[in-house]
Structure 1
Amino acid sequence: MSETKSRAALAALLVGAGVLYVWGLGASGWANSFYSAAVQAGSQSWKAFFFGSSDAANAITVDKTPASLWPMELSVRIFGLNSWAVLVPQALMGVGAVAMVYATVRRLFPVWAALLAGAAMAVTPVAVLMFRFNNPDALLVLSLTVAGYCVTRARERGSTRWLMGAGAVIGFAFLVKMMQAFLVVPGFVLVYLVTAPGALWRRVWQLALAGTAMVVAAGWWLMAVALVPASERPYIGGSQTDSVLELALGYNGLGRLNGDDYGGLGNLNQQAGWLRLFDTEAGGQISWLLPAALALLVAVTWLTRRAPRTDPVRAAVWVWGSWLVVTGLVFSLMQGIFHAYYTVALAPAVAVLVGMGAAVAWERGAHRLLAMVVAVTVVWAYVLLSRTADWNGWLGTVVLVAGLGAVLGMLFTRRVLVGVVAVAACLAGPAAYAVETAATPHTGAIPTAGPATGGGFGGPPGGGPGRAGRPGGDGGRAAFRPPGGRGGAGGLLDARTPPAELTTLLRNGSSTWAAATVGSNNAAGYQLATGLPVMAVGGFNGTDPAPTLEQFKQYVAGKSIHYFIGTGMDGFGGRGGGSGEAARIAAWVRETFTATTVGGVTVFDLTRS
């Protein structure tokens, strides 16, 4: 293929991905209101921007480091607060990730292999979901894909500069989603140490420099937070001791692995096991090409077994294979809170392995191997599509027949048309899920891609939560509502639009916080509706000890909070091992102030005893 045609093909791929990620984007509204409220806060206050506060008055931060919020907050500062300004940066990150996957494969393989990898990345259902959503995962995936590209480049000639670049990008990724960013590190280090050119001592020294770059890129923000007195910054949400390190190592670290509670709600998902990535919760999100990627990883390793230690093809495949294996095992076996959308972190590795592996097998005449991989892929696609028999039930049969027909053709001919049919059959299932995902608004804290599923092994019946307008689509989790309190605008996992009369009432106040309420999603609904700071008592789960009852009383005495809004979470603080401060605050408010009802919501005016 000529250079002009190659560029045109790449442009078509990126434009197609952009359309898929942007089309009808505004239908999802605020998507995850928890993060949209923080974006609103960061667009109003540079202090909130830096710390990742939930509100512009800086009561408490979100339960993550703030880097994922920064692109959205800058967009909102430029274009104003609206759904498109919040979500378009995420879509552009998706296009960037597709471009990096293409660039990685293209360094060693033909254009067709790079296009295959880019297309596989673009239509992975969970990738379409997260690049149209405002969770931290979009920037995490882009950052790790850039890091993988840098390691691939560094390994080619033993480049210290590229390796340090990878370390710096991974360090930045820590500021996006904390410990998850480091899952790629063990594999990257081992592959570079084993396969990179140069003397062993030089490789060790290069890795030390890359590690230093990673620590600096992640540590500057941690150091800045540590140097600011607690009284001068917001409380670190998600921690029990107002500590970023506790947040990273506990709630967002070991707690996700061992299932122990670190101020959260405990392990609400007991589906851990070797087949988790193939069950009804995660299977349709990521596993379409997962068997192919694993098979091709093993096949390339075998086909290059006699190659020298520094063989670039094998090393490149190992870089991305280590990412897939380590991260995939952690996701499969982790005992703590797990959501299917986490698997978007596997999408770049799967896509690169499919592109590289197919190219190696084709160039080395392993046509029977490719035929076997295609057969397994279309059979697995048929299984996945059979889980949605009431949604385009004909598609699974078409994929199976076309795919197996292409397999027969591959055994007897090397015609390009046969290869095209094989690729189309393998991508038809995820592409259909991808289009369905793009056509469906998604809101709430736990979105899932594709149509609702049911049955199968290892997963709950019903579709995943987070699809607007899908009855019964919560998979047994999103419908959870804690007891206590009366009448709120949201809950643990979503934020609802408050009644107009209550929005008007809150806007007429003059306090630092227009209101306070238990739980970040409850607060987010009021904050986005009014444009004013609303204190999220207890943070995301209502279990953080922030503020304490004494601090809350001081705020009330100083007229800093105008209203307290009752919710279904008022009595929830202290459950799941977290703090009971939210419950004590709610009880004190009920005992001290007179309740009124505005638009069906229980409200306490804290400026009147």
Structure 2
Amino acid sequence: MDKPKRRLDWWLVAILLLAAFLYAWNIWEAGSANDYYTAAVVSMTKSWHNFWYGAFDPAGFITVDKPPVALWFMAISGKIFGVYGWSVVLPSILFGIGSVYLIYAMVKRVFGAWPARLSALIMTLTPIVVADSRTNNMDATLVYFLLLATDCLFIAIQKKRPWLVLVSFALIGVSFNIKMLQAFMILPALLLFYWLASSQPWKKRLVTLVGAGAALAIFTLAWPLQVDSTSAADRPYIGSSQKNSVMDLAFGYNGSERLLGQTSGLGGTFGGLNSKNKGGFEGMPGGAPGSAATTKNGTTTKSNGTTTQNGTPPTGSKQGGTPPSGGTPPSGTNQGGTPPTGNKQGTTTKSKSNTTLTAQGGEGNFTPPTGSNRKGGFPGGTRRGGRGGMGAGGGAFNIGTAGPLRVFQSALGPQISWLLPMALIGFISSFVYYIDRKRKWWQLSLQQKHVGYWLAWLVPVMGFFSIASFFHPYYMIMLAPPIAALAGIGLYTMFKQFQGSWKHWTTYLLPVGIAITIALQAWYLTQYYTVAPWLLVIAGILVIAGLFATRLHRFRKIMVGATLVTILAAPGFWSITPTLAGESAGIPTAGPDLLSQGGNTSGGIGSGSVNSGLLKYVEAHQGSAKYLFAVSDASTAAPYIIKSGKAVMAIGGFNGTDPTLTLKQFKALVKKGELKYYYSSGRSGNSSIAAWVEKNGTKIAASKYGSTTSSTQSTNQRGGFGGMGGSGTLYKLTVK
């Protein structure tokens, strides 16, 4: 008997094309995307040694702050097409589209075509999914592999193939080597689902789980143990670790410190990222926001929204592509000058004698800047001032106030939570709808087990981010798959239940879900617009009234379409903003600020600027030296590595504080002729090395190399955590 032919689902094709447009359009404007990771891609294409370890610089001095699996895909793309912004972002785009398809495939297999289409569409139109899929960060890659692990487990249960359970858990191990402990967030959901859904006897289930645990351990630990067992002299220093160890990086900087607040790598604790300090943080060097003034050499000074280096204030001018750290500039201005009024801006003053750093407010103490009122963006509204700060969506570290409702707050909610109420109500609806009346009440149907899995993914991850002290808003992509699946399935079942008896409580789930969802969305819109929220509320009232008037017996397709358009309009607009702005940022975000700013000004980790005169000078005088020059931190080094393809030593790694070298070791490199120059960019780092350089190095007059500044990024991607900019001091090094 012939197998039935598979029909092409044109709805799916349309959704995937929409995803491809949102994730890929304008990506040629990416510049160097997140230049920290792009510099690593440049380095990894130079040698297998750098490729394996994920080296930041071509000399293999130090690694980036994440394992290399996601970077491997970027490096392969860079090797094939050349290293460009679009080529290093291409894997994220493909993984983002792949995640949409996996959501569709998993939901369709159990619930049918329409729940699958709705889930895929919601995943596609989740703002932070769009933003993350347009950058060379690791998050889109991580989510794809987590969904692939989930799909393997679902197939293993459905087709009774225990070996696929091992594959599923092995993929979680691979995911660990993408972004470390973040991958383990869904382990409880995987274990619970397997135990409840498997038809194996419990003893065989235990044996399978033991094998799955072994597969998880092998694929999790293979790379870290190989690296940690290799002599430190034969591999790069593990960036952002304090003990030159992958396991220390995993359980420290990328582990417990995310939950408790960062205590290493930044010279202080991000104590302000908790509910006490409302989103600020302290101790970050080099111009990043902080909750208190930072002093150097015992001197503290304060300025008003300006940045000065070596005593020369920029007086509002654009200097080297690096804005003052006093907040996000209003639209229509160059990066520099006076921040928007009303913003609790950070301020930084740098000179030989002092460095000052004050906080930018978080959820509790943030006042949106007074931007220019203008028509645009979401239809029918006058635009309010957006949420300023580092990045267009509320700030690189603005994660709201810790508590059970944190993901609904305005700091994180507009990135992820537009349809979260629909997902939670949708779980109730679908769980009740798929009850098998022939079974006992505790015997769950297959569909109930599946919606239970998505809830078991959603709740623990929400719980972690509700109390964690240190993470970025773009980590919210971890919530996108369960929200998409539960909302898509729930909408389908709610429409079915709405046609039932008025006496049954499930009949009212659809209008209640629409009302709560619209209310939340309207509140998010009030952060930016005055008229648009009211238009959305009116549309929601009309839809609910239309549903009650027709009961879906007449005009069914019209009412279903009107409902979907109403609840997807606002998140859909938010989702298209990164596409229209050509955003590919180090701190990806979505929102109207991108349109007014011409893209996310938080681009990479540094300014993305290169002093071409200085670069030519050090290249001309490098001779046989291994490094062009040394700097304190990776944000200063990254654009030079991208521009030249040569090794620049970032002594302190990402933040300038990694204990990579002692002064004795540094002097030995200088004596051997491997290092001839040191650039003092004004960022803090190894104080003993910096002091020795300042005392013993020979200053090179700026007139010898000029001060011409170019950018490795598009104008939409400049800014970030600070970097070299257009000024600093170059020293020639000698050891007598």
Smaller-chain TM-score bracket = 0.7 to 0.9
> Cα 1:46–1:495, aligned 2, differ >3 Å: closer, same or farther?
farther
How far off is 1:161 after superposition?
2.5
Determine helix, strand or coil for the equivalent of 1:68: helix
Q: Which residue of 1 aligns with 2:562?
A: 421
CA deviations 1:164-192 (Å, max 9, x no partner) are 22101111110000000000001221232
Q: For residues 122-521 of structure 1, what are the structure 2 equivalents within 5 Å?
A: 122-264=124-266, 265-267=268-270, 268-270=272-274, 271-304=401-434, 308=439, 309-335=443-469, 337-364=470-497, 365=500, 366-389=506-529, 394-411=531-548, 412-414=550-552, 415-442=556-583, 445-452=586-593, 470=597, 493-508=605-620, 509-510=622-623, 511-521=625-635
The answer as to whether partners of 2:81 and 2:87 remain within 8 angstroms in 1 is yes
Give me the whole-angstrom Cα distance separating, in 2, the residues matched to 1:322 and 1:247: 27
Give me the whole-angstrom Cα distance separating, in 1, the residues matched to 2:260 and 2:534: 41
Determine helix, strand or coil for the equivalent of 1:551: helix
Tell whether 2:97 aligns with 1:95. yes
Aligned-pair identity in percent equals 34
Amino acid across the alignment from 2:105: A
RMSD: 2.3
> Cα 1:202–1:333, aligned 2, differ >3 Å: closer, same or farther?
same
How far off is 1:78 after superposition?
0.7
How far off is 1:405 after superposition?
1.9
CA deviations 1:83-129 (Å, max 9, x no partner) are 11111221111100111111111111232221111111111110100
Determine helix, strand or coil for the equivalent of 1:108: helix
Candidates 55, 58, 68, aligned match of 1:56: 58
Give me the whole-angstrom Cα distance separating, in 1, the residues matched to 2:464 and 2:431: 23
The answer as to whether partners of 1:497 and 1:529 remain within 8 angstroms in 2 is no
The answer as to whether partners of 2:628 and 2:646 remain within 8 angstroms in 1 is yes
The answer as to whether partners of 1:168 and 1:217 remain within 8 angstroms in 2 is yes
How far off is 1:57 after superposition?
0.5
The answer as to whether partners of 1:341 and 1:448 remain within 8 angstroms in 2 is yes
Q: For residues 527-606 of structure 1, what are the structure 2 equivalents within 5 Å?
A: 527-569=641-683, 572-573=684-685, 582-596=686-700, 597=702, 598=705, 599=707, 600-606=727-733
The answer as to whether partners of 2:78 and 2:88 remain within 8 angstroms in 1 is yes
Determine helix, strand or coil for the equivalent of 1:360: helix
How far off is 1:214 after superposition?
1.4
How far off is 1:436 after superposition?
1.1
Amino acid across the alignment from 1:65: P
Determine helix, strand or coil for the equivalent of 1:416: helix
Tell whether 2:66 aligns with 1:81. no
The answer as to whether partners of 1:507 and 1:532 remain within 8 angstroms in 2 is no
The answer as to whether partners of 2:126 and 2:575 remain within 8 angstroms in 1 is yes
Amino acid across the alignment from 2:619: R
Determine helix, strand or coil for the equivalent of 2:653: coil
Determine helix, strand or coil for the equivalent of 1:532: coil
Q: Which residue of 2 aligns with 1:578?
A: none
Stretches of structure 1 lacking an aligned partner (at least 5 in a row):
453-466, 479-489, 574-581
Higher deviation after alignment, 112-121 or 396-405: 396-405
The answer as to whether partners of 1:444 and 1:494 remain within 8 angstroms in 2 is no
Aligned residue pairs total: 565
Give me the whole-angstrom Cα distance separating, in 2, the residues matched to 1:536 and 1:469: 34
Determine helix, strand or coil for the equivalent of 1:425: helix
Higher deviation after alignment, 211-220 or 502-511: 502-511
Give me the whole-angstrom Cα distance separating, in 2, the residues matched to 1:442 and 1:548: 39
How far off is 1:223 after superposition?
2.5
The answer as to whether partners of 2:436 and 2:445 remain within 8 angstroms in 1 is no
Give me the whole-angstrom Cα distance separating, in 2, the residues matched to 1:352 and 1:382: 23
Determine helix, strand or coil for the equivalent of 1:184: helix
Determine helix, strand or coil for the equivalent of 1:543: coil
Give me the whole-angstrom Cα distance separating, in 2, the residues matched to 1:172 and 1:42: 19
> Cα 1:119–1:444, aligned 2, differ >3 Å: closer, same or farther?
closer
Q: Which residue of 2 aligns with 1:105?
A: 107
Determine helix, strand or coil for the equivalent of 1:289: helix
> Cα 1:515–1:382, aligned 2, differ >3 Å: closer, same or farther?
same
How far off is 1:394 after superposition?
4.5
How far off is 1:58 after superposition?
0.6
Give me the whole-angstrom Cα distance separating, in 2, the residues matched to 1:189 and 1:425: 37
Give me the whole-angstrom Cα distance separating, in 2, the residues matched to 1:326 and 1:249: 19
Determine helix, strand or coil for the equivalent of 1:288: helix
Give me the whole-angstrom Cα distance separating, in 1, the residues matched to 2:457 and 2:69: 22
Amino acid across the alignment from 2:55: S
> Cα 1:358–1:536, aligned 2, differ >3 Å: closer, same or farther?
same
Give me the whole-angstrom Cα distance separating, in 2, the residues matched to 1:368 and 1:5: 35
> Cα 1:471–1:396, aligned 2, differ >3 Å: closer, same or farther?
same
Give me the whole-angstrom Cα distance separating, in 1, the residues matched to 2:665 and 2:607: 26
Amino acid across the alignment from 1:385: L
How far off is 1:306 after superposition?
5.8
CA deviations 1:225-283 (Å, max 9, x no partner) are 13321110001111111111111011110111112513344215233222221122111
Q: Which residue of 1 aligns with 2:34?
A: 32
Amino acid across the alignment from 2:653: G
Q: Which residue of 1 aligns with 2:371?
A: none
